[in-house]
């Protein structure tokens, strides 16, 4: 039986849009190739558009197999976060500031290498980024914490009930074990008193 090598599954997921001030943030850009066995030349251009302006500002580039930072305010603030097979062509902001809020464009160009022709495809993904002062509460984590406390209270109550039940059971067992001994000791004493009583004729 022949076993072939399996290729990693590519899932096109949207990027998160809420960044936290002072924290790193990944701008996710997934571009799945339908035929992984076909070689392709890939180029990725990242652009930023401020909220008050519609100008596309180049901020990062991937070309000829190498990531390349672009001169300007974004220099040394971005890093490549893509995969080796270039299905994932994401980048990461090292330290988010309020100025990072705005629109990001991930522009991908692929030129496929077939025997007789070289078709190409261009894709663009847009990410609207918002910057918050602190991370918002995760409702799932909050519900989990509440359930944990409720479970702890229930287990404490159950343990208390079990302790009271066991204490009463042990106390009742001790009383029952003491009664026969008391009766046993009391019978000879009563019998002795009866023997010592004078017989009336």
| Range in 58-62, 101-105, 169-173, 184-188 with the lowest mean pLDDT | 184-188
Cβ neighbour number for residue 127 with a 10 Å cutoff? 18
Indicate the residue among 132, 160, 178 that finishes a domain.
Answer: 132
Q: Is residue 39 part of a domain?
A: yes
Whether 89 is covered by a domain: the verdict is yes
pLDDT tens readout for residues 45-80: 999 988 777 788 999 999 888 898 888 888 889 999
Q: What is the DSSP string of 131-200?
A: EESSPPP-HHHHHHHHHHHHHHHHHHHHHHHHHHHHHHHHHHHHHHHHHHHHHHHHHHHHHHHHHHSPPP
Q: In terms of pLDDT, which residue wins out, 102 or 7?
A: 102
Phi and psi, residue 136, nearest 5°: -75, 155
12 within a domain of the structure (yes/no): no
Whether residue 107 is found in the same domain as residue 187: no
Q: Which residue has the higher pLDDT, 43 or 64?
A: 43
Same domain for 30 and 123: yes
Same domain, 166 and 121: no
Residue 193 reports pLDDT greater than 80: no
pLDDT (tens digit, 9 = 90+) per residue, 132-161? 887 765 566 666 778 777 777 777 877 888
Report the chain's mean pLDDT, rounded to a whole number: 77
CATH number, domain containing residue 63: 2.60.40.10
Check pLDDT > 70 for residue 108.
yes
Do 35 and 85 belong together in one domain?
A: yes
Quick one: 174 and 119 in the same domain? no
Check if the beta carbon of residue 61 is closer than 8 Å to that of residue 70. Answer: yes
| 23 or 35: which leads in pLDDT | 23
pTM above 0.85, yes or no: no
Q: What are phi and psi of 125, to 5 degrees?
A: -120, 140
110, 132, 154: which is the final residue of a domain?
A: 132
Q: What pLDDT, on a 0 to 100 scale, did the predictor assign at position 170?
A: 81
Residue 2 lies in a domain: no
Residue that is last in its domain, among 82, 108, 132: 132
Which of 21-30, 105-114, 139-148, 173-182 comes out lowest in average pLDDT? Answer: 173-182
- Cβ pair 62, 42 in contact under 8 A: yes
Looking at the fold, whether 41 and 63 belong to one and the same domain comes out as yes
Q: Please tell me whether residues 156 and 64 are part of one structural domain.
A: no
Could you list the residue range(s) of the whole structural domain that residue 117 is in? 18-132
Q: Are 81 and 91 in contact (CB under 8 A)?
A: yes
In total, how many domains does the chain have? 2
Predicted local confidence at residue 180, as pLDDT? 58
**96 with 22: CB under 8 angstroms?**
yes
- Claim to verify: residue 121 and residue 24 sit in the same structural domain: yes
pLDDT of residue 201 exceeding 60, the answer is no
Does residue 35 share a domain with residue 128? Answer: yes
């Amino acid at each position: 039986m022949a076993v072939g090598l399996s290729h990693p599954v590519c899932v096109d997921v949207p990027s998160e849009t809420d960044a936290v001030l002072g924290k790193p943030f990944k701008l996710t850009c997934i571009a799945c190739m339908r035929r992984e066995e076909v070689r392709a030349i890939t180029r990725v251009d990242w652009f930023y558009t401020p909220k008050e302006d519609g100008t596309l500002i180049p901020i990062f580039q991937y070309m000829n197999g190498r990531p390349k930072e672009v001169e300007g305010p974004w220099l040394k603030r971005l890093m490549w976060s893509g995969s080796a097979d270039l299905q994932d062509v994401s980048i990461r902001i090292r330290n988010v500031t309020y100025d990072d809020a705005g629109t990001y464009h991930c522009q991908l160009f692929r030129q496929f290498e077939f025997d007789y022709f070289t078709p190409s495809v261009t894709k663009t993904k847009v990410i609207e980024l918002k910057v918050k002062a602190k991370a918002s509460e995760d409702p799932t984590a909050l519900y989990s914490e509440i359930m944990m406390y409720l479970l702890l209270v229930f287990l404490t109550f159950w343990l208390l009930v079990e302790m009271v039940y066991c204490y009463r059971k042990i106390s009742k067992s001790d009383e029952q074990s003491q009664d026969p001994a008391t009766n046993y000791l009391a019978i000879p004493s009563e019998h002795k008193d009866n023997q010592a009583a004078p017989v009336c004729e």
